[in-house]
Amino acid sequence: MDIHYIMLADKRRLQAYQQAINAVVKPGDIVLDIGTGTGILALMAAQAGACKVYGIEYDSMSEVAKEIVAANDYKDVIEIISGDLRNIELPCKVDVLIGEMLGSFGIEENILALYDHACKRFLKPDGIVIPQRFSLWAAPFSSQRIRKELKFWEKVNGFNYLPIQKRIQHLTKIDSIKQSALICKPEMLGEFDLKDFSGMDINGCVGFTCDKSAVIDGFCGWFEAVLSDGIILDNNPASPPTHWRQMIFPLLPSVRVKEGDTVNLRITSTHFGDEVHLNWFTEFNLSGRREQRKQAAFLGVDLPGKFTNWFTPPLDSKSKLTEYGQELLAALSSIEKGAEISRIKMVNDNDDENKQKERLAMKLLREGLIEIDK
């Protein structure tokens, strides 16, 4: 319930959606709300005059949404359908497709693949989508607090805790970053049109020039979504706050830069089933000296739940590494001396999850994120 409360209490989010829905939905329209949650956007569409609204939700919240619809006397207009939108059939195509599947860095809730699926199957050719499009932005930031949080893991009660630190440096974090913490002008990494599919992953590269001396502790990322013409919703640190806060791509150790130094940042994403992993590559040109870093959610995957939900349980004794698994293990060992078998679970179980992991591993190898030690 927490997450629904947080989303529903985010006034900026709801006001922007209300404005966009009022501007787009015309009396008599048929509307589809994908990932309807508690049904809030479906209710707005019905209030705006839609003659029929379908709300699809795969979480058990769909049962509560049905009660909320009835409690608001919209049972004749809104139909809540329980299930995954990829497995649902609708009796007709819709005029307007709405949804809110934006993550703090836009893409990590799989919005691109889900909108592509929904548009192709459910939207009339001249139908309208909300949001129309969004762009992704980033800028280097300096934060003593984040530096301290990462430093915490060097020693705990006098004991060496670097095994945790070396993993969390590969994990993004949702946190609030002030505009004053940004040390370069933000740059746009990519732009996505939600009606015109151009792929479900990002591969964006930008360059920054430092205009002052500072310590870079990471990169701050955010989205800017155009819900409908002129109606923008974003989590730019310069804008009023939202529940999304910002996405942090940490840098460990932090890097001291001087005025005129340059930084190149490439952010890519990799799908792991419906999960979207973010990878970030940095190249610093520090008064003529070059320094490179490669960081990827995948390299932090074996931390248990509290740190990440990408926990991979240790390999059990009966499991046998696949060929790709062996390659990946070799690759991990090459970048990190003494990587243990439990770092990855590549088994011949032949289930979907393992196929996904193999594909992910091969993509990371192809991207040069990890290299095979020959």
Using the contact rule CB under 6 A, the part of the chain among 55-63, 66-74, 177-185, 315-323 near ligand SAM is: 55-63
Query: Using H for helix, E for strand and C for coil, what is the string for the chain?
Result: CHHHHHHHCCHHHHHHHHHHHHHHCCCCCEEEEECCCCCHHHHHHHHCCCCEEEEEECCCHHHHHHHHHHHCCCCCCEEEEECCHHHCCCCCCEEEEEECCCECCECCCCHHHHHHHHHHHHEEEEEEEECCEEEEEEEEECCHHHHHHHHHHHEECCEECHHHHHHHCCCCEEECCCHHHECCCCEEEEEEECCCCCCCCCEEEEEEECCCCEEEEEEEEEEEEEEECCEEEECCCCCCCCCCCEEEEEEEEEEEECCCCEEEEEEEEEEECCEEEEEEEEEEEECCEEEEEEEEHHHHCCCCCCCCCCCCCCCCCCCCECHHHHHHHHHHHHHCCCCCHHHCCCECCCCHHHHHHHHHHHHHHHCCCCCCCC
Using the contact rule CB under 6 A, the part of the chain among 24-32, 53-61, 157-165, 205-213 near ligand SAM is: 53-61
Binding-site member from 10, 59, 193, 358 for ligand SAM (CB under 6 A): 59
Binding-site member from 20, 24, 29, 37 for ligand SAM (CB under 6 A): 37
The verdict on 56 binding ligand SAM (CB under 6 A) reads yes
Using the contact rule CB under 6 A, the part of the chain among 84-92, 195-203, 252-260, 310-318 near ligand SAM is: 84-92
State the distance between the two ends of the chain, measured CA to CA, in whole angstroms: 50
Closest CA to 280 of 258, 261, 299, 257: 299
Using the contact rule CB under 6 A, the part of the chain among 52-60, 128-136, 206-214, 253-261 near ligand SAM is: 52-60
The verdict on 36 binding ligand SAM (CB under 6 A) reads yes
Per-residue binder mask for ligand SAM (CB under 6 A), 100-119, x = binder:
xx------------x-----
Binding to ligand SAM (CB under 6 A) within 226-285 occurs at none
Binding to ligand SAM (CB under 6 A) within 285-314 occurs at none
The verdict on 183 binding ligand SAM (CB under 6 A) reads no
Tell the smallest beta-carbon distance from residue 235 to ligand SAM (Å).
Answer: 13
For helices 40-47 and 61-71, the axis angle rounded to 10 degrees is 30
Measured at CB, which residue is nearest to ligand SAM?
35
112 — phi, psi (to 5°)?
A: -65, -50
Binding-site member from 20, 24, 32, 35 for ligand SAM (CB under 6 A): 35
Tell the smallest beta-carbon distance from residue 84 to ligand SAM (Å).
Answer: 4
Tell the smallest beta-carbon distance from residue 142 to ligand SAM (Å).
Answer: 31
The verdict on 84 binding ligand SAM (CB under 6 A) reads yes
Tell the smallest beta-carbon distance from residue 220 to ligand SAM (Å).
Answer: 21
The verdict on 40 binding ligand SAM (CB under 6 A) reads yes
The verdict on 85 binding ligand SAM (CB under 6 A) reads yes
- Comparing CB distances to ligand SAM, the nearer of 57 and 261 is 57
Tell the smallest beta-carbon distance from residue 357 to ligand SAM (Å).
Answer: 21
- Comparing CB distances to ligand SAM, the nearer of 58 and 310 is 58
The verdict on 69 binding ligand SAM (CB under 6 A) reads no
Contacts with ligand SAM, residue ranges (CB under 6 A): 7, 35-38, 40-41, 56-59, 61, 84-86, 100-101, 114
